[in-house]
Amino acid sequence: MTKYVFTTGGVVSSVGKGVVCASLGMLLEARGLKIAMMKFDPYINVDPGTMNPFEHGEVFVTDDGAETDLDLGHYQRFTNAVLSRKSNATTGGIYNAVIQKERRGEYLGKTVQVIPHITDEIKSRIRMLTADAEENIDVAIIEVGGTVGDIESLPFLEALRQFRLDIGPPNCCFVHVTLVPYIAAAGELKTKPTQHSVRALRDIGIQPNVIVCRTGSMTMGPDQRKKVAMFCDVTDDAIIGAEDISPLYAIPLNFKKQKLDDTVLRLLNIPAPQGDLSGWEAMVERLKGAKREVRIAAVGKYVNHDDAYKSINEAFVHAGIANDCKVKLQWVDSEQFEKGIEPAEALKDFDGIVVGPGFGTRGIEGKIKAVKYSRENKVPYFGICLGMQMAVIELARHKLGLERAHSTEIDPETPDPVICLLSEQRGIKDLGGTMRLGEYRCELQPGTRAHAAYGADVIGERHRHRYEFNNAYLEPLKEKAGLVVSGTHPKGDHDLVEIIEVKDHPWFCASQFHPEFKSTPLYPQPLFRDFVRASLERSKLTGRG
């Protein structure tokens, strides 16, 4: 029988529930357990696909094409849990499902209410998570977004209270993650906010079994732990300190020292041998011990919000591990290149340039200028999704002489639409969940950088886009612009261009897919790994390495 861990948050949002869940999942997997993971989000959007990355952070895409919360990226980077559209559910999605059932008459004329209909739908999503799993799931770890006390979270918490009774209390464990602030004037950590947060949770009918205390740079002392345990009715060993730790991937090791996994397994009555964390420990030491440094310019527009490109940031950390170096990733605002600042001035001190994904017209011409600088000055270039499209436009303009070449997304009237709408996208009006999403097959050409990076003839990578390379321009770009198509997706009447490269360049590679979504610290993504390697070589040539 599957056992369940439910993680809630208190005091403030963004307290780190996702990393706590991912860390616990990693520790349980190390002990031989099969896990599943899920995130409930209280917002009314059906999914985060239409939300502004500056406000919400990146949209993480699963193999089956679900647009999900960025916390699922943490789950993937830390664990081997299979993530799918079952792994993320929102208030909007829950209510939408209930309303559709009501319209079909499935409630047989009854008055539809939050209890039992909304809570029953939430509980059904929990059961669905493990119902069709290929292997028996030992532990399902389920995170509830938001903060205890938020009105939006109440139906989810009520559903969890009911679910505990449905399956029996011994099969359930509640982990509460709270903030324990340091008050400088008093010179100490204050546990009162945590006490109030737990009281709010208990008022709903949920008693936490484990409390994880975020303490910033401070470490909780034994007296403070006992105080939290006493006032919150939790055993001393179930109070886990969570001070800020760098690097991120050392956090599970900190929890292991405090026996978080032992405590959870004891509460769930699951016997499991101690796991071998030597591989993870070696990875963390390698990350900490890197002496070399490589500077990468990430040219984009969401430059003041790290979470907008969370998976890309982490993929570069992983690539640094693979190359025994620290990747210093600096976000460069592409709009400045449209306002008179030359790319040569802003980018001259970087060893590599990456142009990542994005939507909208803002900063587009600046990105194209950055691509041109990279190509002409032999600076390693890596394009991701929109970054590939910008590379194609740049080649068409400056190597084929097509001055108005563009994407029809940006310029619907362009006479040379080198990037155009995917055929299946024509006629679609709704924005949510309608892009080309999820994993697709990509066939690699031998003798290319992409083939050398992956060491395979066929790969699968995840997509999130509406526009594609226009094959009408394929031959001219290959013959006159030095374009190399190194990866394609077979699609009936024509192949979709998935990866492009440029001849006579140290390393110039761009993909229509999002390779960052599959990168992990133990298995760095091949294109990121090789791009960083090429950037390291350039740093040596320029005397910076």
Mean pLDDT of 221-225: 90
DSSP 149: T
Mean pLDDT of 213-231: 91
The pLDDT of residue 396 is above 80:
yes
Mean pLDDT of 32-43: 96
Mean pLDDT of 74-87: 96
- Looking at the chain, the whole-number percentage of residues with pLDDT higher than 90 is 80
Per DSSP bridges, beta strands 381-384 and 508-511 are parallel
Choice among 213, 232, 385, 509 that is catalytic = 385
pTM of the model: 0.93
pLDDT value for 427: 56
Q: Which residues pair with 199 in a beta bridge?
A: none
Whether 514 is a known active-site residue: answer: yes
Whether 516 is a known active-site residue: answer: yes
Peptide bond just before 380 cis, omega within 30 deg? no
Weakest mean pLDDT among 117-131, 210-224, 499-513: 210-224
- Looking at the chain, the whole-number percentage of residues with pLDDT higher than 70 is 96
Peptide bond just before 247 cis, omega within 30 deg? yes
What are the DSSP calls for 450-495, one per residue? HHHHHTSSEEEEEEEESEEE-GGGHHHHHHHS-EEEEEEEEETTEE
Mean pLDDT of 77-94: 96
pLDDT value for 165: 96
Nearest Cα to 12, choosing from 178, 190, 157, 172?
178
The pLDDT of residue 51 is above 80:
no
Nearest Cα to 497, choosing from 472, 517, 471?
471
* Residue 318's pLDDT band (cuts 50, 70, 90): very high
Cα 2 to Cα 35, 171, 268: the distances in Å are 9, 8, 10
The pLDDT of residue 304 is above 80:
no
DSSP 245: -
What are the DSSP calls for 80-129, one per residue? -PPP-GGGEEEHHHHHHHHHHHHHTTTTTTPPP-IIIIIHHHHHHHHHHH
Q: Which domains does the chain have, with CATH numbers?
A: 3-281 (3.40.50.300), 290-420+468-485+495-541 (3.40.50.880)
Whether 385 is a known active-site residue: answer: yes
Give the tens place of pLDDT for each residue, 411-448: 999 999 999 987 655 555 555 556 789 999 999 999 99
Choice among 143, 461, 468, 516 that is catalytic = 516
